[in-house]
Copies of this chain bind each other. A is one copy, B any other.
Amino acid sequence: MAHSSRLVDMVHERIEDFLAERTSILRSISADLEPLDGFSRRFLSGGKRFRALFCYWGWEAVRTRGFDPFEAAEGPDRFPVVSAAAALELFHAAALVHDDLIDRSDTRRGLPSAHRLFEGLHAESGWAGDAADFGVDAAILLGDLLLGWSDEILDEGLDALADRAAARASRREFMRMRTEVTAGQYLDILEERAWVVQPDDEQRLRAERVIVYKSAKYSIEAPLVIGASLAGATESQIRTLRDFGLPLGIAYQLRDDLLGVFGDPEVTGKPSGDDLREGKRTVLVAIARERLAAGQRRLLDELLGDASLSAEQVRMLQRTISECGAVDEIEQIIARNAARAVAALDDAPLGHEARNELAAMAKTVTRRTS
């Protein structure tokens, strides 16, 4: 893990250096742009950096497999992979800024979300007009800015790579990830509204499709492949990493869904039962609906998505979902997917240390409490 924590520091430094250059452009335009700078740093300073780590270990897994001792003296050039890992973090920060707008979330990691920060800035500055409107508008722009920057930092890394085919392969995966995660987010917000006109027996399948694109591929499979491609991965190495990444990503998101309903606000930094108030149509909800009797199902449908749910109502919904056996079923699916992921690493054509590290990370992301 010492290796991983060094990587996290390198990514952090890379992001800091990059932001320093970009914000010098902002500063040359106007001092009024300072909040774009300050709030960017705020959203990039924390987080678990899972995506960066999967990218790095995807790279390391391929690099150390075909290890050339003559290269060892100098050590590998980590700039491309650290840049790609940083790009994933910048992209994620952009997605979170827009996601919090879409979910109307007031907090992110226990602190105000971006639109709330801008709203606060408006309120304390004595400006004209509506503070909340300004918050939304400015957060749309902050997300756009970070989205563009994620792409720039990736390109800086790819430009430094001599192997052009590897650079192109890595970039292609990044691009596809970007399209797929946006599509997944659209399906997510659609499902919150469209479930009402969908057949009951399709809801689980539809919820599964959302997590595959919105989360599983995005959070784990794509970062692994982006990193591995940088090291010139073979098709069989890429296939192995996908076989590991996709089920692990599903397990990861199912854990997230459980935390969204049952998580401890002190640990998650989000209000208790947040997903219930938002009305997310998760796999957990789909399974609960399959298991509940008609009357309880109607009650669940009625309360889900009601932003004004009381603490008592949240507790009642938590009990309903848990007692029908949906939580146990989700835990079983998590365990099954995590096992399938780890099994994909057996005899995999990947470096030894990286395989161990990936197996350890599989435990971390499926057993986490925040």
Contacts and interface: CB of A to CB of B under 8 A. Distances in A.
Interface of A: 22, 25-26, 29-30, 32-33, 36, 94, 98, 101-102, 122, 125-129, 134, 137-138, 140-141, 143-145, 147-149, 151-152, 155, 159, 168, 171, 175-176, 178-180, 182-187, 189-190, 192-197, 209, 213, 279, 305
B193 A29 contact: no
* Most B C-beta atoms less than 10 A away, residue of A26, A98, A137, A189: A137
Nearest to A94: B144
A151 B141 CA distance: 17
Contacts of A185: 141
Contacts of A125: 194, 197
Contact of A193 (B94, B134, B147, B195): B134
Given A33-B183, A140-B140, 11 more contacts: A25-B183, A29-B184, A30-B187, A126-B197, A127-B196, A134-B193, A137-B189, A138-B190, A141-B186, A145-B179, A145-B183
A149 B151 CA distance: 11
Contacts of A190: 32, 127, 138
Contacts of A122: 193
> 4 tightest A-B contacts by CB?
A127-B193, A148-B178, A128-B196, A102-B137
A152 to B, nearest CB: 5
A175 B22 CA distance: 10
Nearest to A26: B183
A277 B167 CA distance: 49
B193 A305 contact: no
A313 to B, nearest CB: 18
A37 to B, nearest CB: 10
Nearest to A195: B128
B140 A179 contact: no
A185 B26 CA distance: 12
A305 B128 contact: yes
Contacts of A134: 189, 193
20 contacts: A25-B179, A29-B183, A32-B194, A33-B186, A36-B186, A101-B140, A122-B193, A125-B197, A126-B196, A127-B190, A127-B194, A128-B192, A129-B279, A138-B189, A141-B185, A141-B186, A144-B144, A144-B182, A147-B148, A152-B175
A229 to B, nearest CB: 15
B197 A127 contact: yes
A176 B25 contact: yes
* Most B C-beta atoms less than 10 A away, residue of A179, A186, A279: A186
B141 A209 contact: no
A142 to B, nearest CB: 8
Contacts of A184: 29
A25 B128 CA distance: 44
A29 B217 CA distance: 12
